[in-house]
Amino acid sequence: MSRFKLVLEYDGSKFKGWQFQKDLPTVMGKLMDACKEVFSADNFELYGSGRTDTGVHALYQVAHLDIKTVMPPHIIKIKLNDVLPAAINILHVEKVSSNFHARHDAIARSYVYHISKRRTAFGKDNVWWIKDKLDVKAMADVTPIFLGLKDYKSFGIKDKDGDSTLVELISIKIFEIDNSILIHIVGSHFLWRMVRRIVGVLVEVGRGRMTDKDIQRFFGEKSEIPSQFTAPPSGLYLERVYYKGEQIDDEPQWLVNIY
């Protein structure tokens, strides 16, 4: 068996998330189907760096594939892309050590959330259009409250009992570009729906309905309030997965203009 690192992008609006689900279209499921076709084999293992929910996109998802093959990485990339649906694209394939693990070796992840300030005919599945005028400065002013190692029990859902809700956020920055507001978040890892709830709370601050004191309370004791303002998945993009030796960027490496 050889192990390959795969970097891919996908339009999440076409799938029921990353994780394989029987009888439902998922990114992992489509990638597994492609592997079966390209390698004419069922004997392989595929692991992603983490799950993305239904409707959430990825600009840089990472997976590793264990497969018996003599095909070089660049041919694997070409052949997989030939059979994958248009909404999934393999960006890079490389052969790696059998010790590499797409999920366990990740040291940080970054997400970008895209808010549109105006109605768009082309980006309904790719942005969150907010009609209200948002105070972006007020949103930016409260971002330091989220930084550092904190208990995100009010913002996320654990995968299973016993999992910690402690997460270290490295950076949150907000960029306003033309009709777009981009919220860039970098952290050690993220709980299920955590990013979307952070965004939802920041939007409420921008609307003038929440303050820094409200956010402090969410960290002081468990609250269900952030869950009530969970941002839709359409605007969320997994931007990058980082591994040891890679420089962590605190600014988004992409700009989108979907109007």
CATH architecture of 2-96: 2-Layer Sandwich (3.30)
Given this chain, do its domains 2-96 and 106-243 carry the same CATH topology?
Answer: yes
**pLDDT confidence of residue 72:** 97
pLDDT band at 256 (very low <50, low <70, confident <90, very high): very low
Task: Return the beta strands (E) in the chain as ranges.
Answer: 2-10, 45-48, 57-67, 88-96, 106-116, 128-129, 148-151, 166-177, 180-187, 236-243
3-state secondary structure of 67: strand
Per-residue pLDDT of 225-247, as tens digits, reads: 999 999 999 999 999 999 999 99
CATH architecture of 106-243: 2-Layer Sandwich (3.30)
Q: What is the model's pTM?
A: 0.93
Which residue in 23, 33, 42, 53 is the catalytic one? Answer: 53
Per-residue pLDDT of 51-93, as tens digits, reads: 999 999 999 999 999 999 999 999 999 999 999 999 999 999 9
Report domain extents, the chain.
2-96, 106-243
pLDDT band at 148 (very low <50, low <70, confident <90, very high): very high
Query: Is 53 annotated as catalytic?
Result: yes
